[in-house]
Homo-oligomer: A and B are copies of this chain.
Amino acid sequence: MKGEVKLGILGGGQLGRMLMQAGLDFNLYTLVLDPDENAPCKDICHEFYVGSFRDYETVYEFGKNCDILTIEIEHVNADALEKLEQEGVKVYPDAKTVRTIQDKGLQKEFYRQHNIPTSDFIVLKDKEELQQQQLNFLPAFQKLRREGYDGRGVTRLSSEADIEKAFEEPSVLEKLVDFEKEISVIVARNANGEVTAFPVVELSFHPEHNLVDSLFAPANVPYKLQRHAIEIATRVIEAFDMVGILAVEMFQTKDGQILVNEVAPRPHNSGHHTIKANYTSQYEQHLRAILNLPLGATDIQSAAVMLNLLGEPGYDGEAAYEGMQEALAVPGVYIHLYGKKYTRPARKMGHITVLGKDIEEAQARAEQIKNVIKVKA
């Protein structure tokens, strides 16, 4: 390995920031593209470009200066990725995988084609088609095919009365799953084809914002189902034939099935705790994968609870953090702020990892500090 590899990252948010934080240990030279001039990556990369990662020309011009190009968000211009691949840039994940994943319709069809268990669905071109087909499917979630993110672009249609609030745009209608738990497995694959999986984690979603609220690792899920979930996640990354990490969100159903909900081909909120709790973090694992280095051990060092730190409702403006003294006084509590200057309600401003010798200890400590740290303006 020569001294310095030029790594480009599409997106300059917290995921990119934590990726670069890990990248320091590998002497990487980092370039970042983000539309926000105050993006969290701005001051800590070597070269920062303000521009849209959705725009063909912008992505192409940015990417052609990189040895390796990766993403921290999947809503990027896949045509530009394809062009860069043809010109010899190592693009991880590749254009084909990104194109499939960024369209929830193609993503669901991909699972069906590859015999990957997933909830029943139909792809809809508009609201009219929804009105024709709804009856077999309600209750269901309607998800926009494109641009859904952190709970945006998703709506629950419980009965005919909800059709009114349905999306007009092309969407996927997914039959509601009667699940016991939502879980996630992060898998990684390098160019040599080596695959590793992180242990299963259990997710808890915010009732309103529909984004991960907290996470428990290890998950309280029967061993056999954990093995099954890891096996499915491994099949998914191999089916995509992709390089990098892939977060596979799944349902553990009440009747003991594991169904894939959706995937993200990048570091993911459900892997933040690995920075503190596992031998290798998801960020280092992604770097090892895209640098084609041997993947790291994913063993748990400590049990962990991860809490997202969201902007407090009612505050909009320059962020200020309350309760740090109180929270950090509890053993095992670690804060990760994302360097975002401005807060707004439910904006992801940071996360807290709570370690313990076992999950009970971590949970008891998490209970003590839950709602103690508040992000106000």
Query: Which stretch in A22-30, A216-224, A231-239, A244-252 binds the other chain?
Result: A22-30
Of all chain B residues, the one with the shortest Cβ separation from A293 is B328
Residues of B within 8 A of A324 (CB): 1, 293
* A325-345 to B contact mask, C-beta < 8 Å, 1/0: 100110110111111010000
Q: List residues of chain B with CB within 8 A of the CB of A329.
A: 294
Report Cα–Cα, A347/B332, bound state, in Å.
Answer: 35
Q: CB-defined interface of A15-33 with B at 8 Å, one 1/0 digit per residue?
A: 0010001001111000000
Decide if B27 touches A337 in the complex (CB within 8 Å): yes
Q: Which residues of B contact A149 (CB under 8 A)?
A: none
Chain B contacts of A43 at CB under 8 A? 46
Q: Is the CB of A24 within 8 A of B339?
A: yes
In contact, B24 and A297 (Cβ under 8 angstroms): no
Partner of A301, one of B27, B288, B302: B302
| Bound complex: CA A331 to CA B196 (Å) | 12
Q: Is the CB of B27 within 8 A of A339?
A: yes
Tell me, in angstroms, the Cα distance from A328 to B280 when the chains sit together.
11
Does A205 interact with chain B (Cβ within 8 Å)? no
A328: B residues at CB distance < 8 A: 288, 293-294, 296
With an 8 A cutoff between CB atoms, is A318 at the interface? Answer: yes
| A296 close to B334 (CB less than 8 A) | yes
A2 on the B face (CB < 8 A):
yes
In the bound complex, do residue A332 and residue B25 qualify as a contact, i.e. CB atoms below 8 Å apart? no
- CB-defined contacts of A318 to chain B, threshold 8 Å: 3
**Does A279 contact B355, Cβ atoms closer than 8 Å?**
yes
**Interface residues, chain A, CB within 8 Å of chain B?**
1-3, 17, 21, 24-27, 43-44, 46, 276, 279-280, 284, 288, 293-294, 296-297, 301-302, 318-321, 324-325, 328-329, 331-332, 334-339, 341, 355
8 new A-B pairs (CB below 8 Å) besides A25-B337, A27-B339?
A: A3-B321, A24-B339, A44-B44, A279-B331, A284-B334, A293-B328, A296-B331, A301-B302
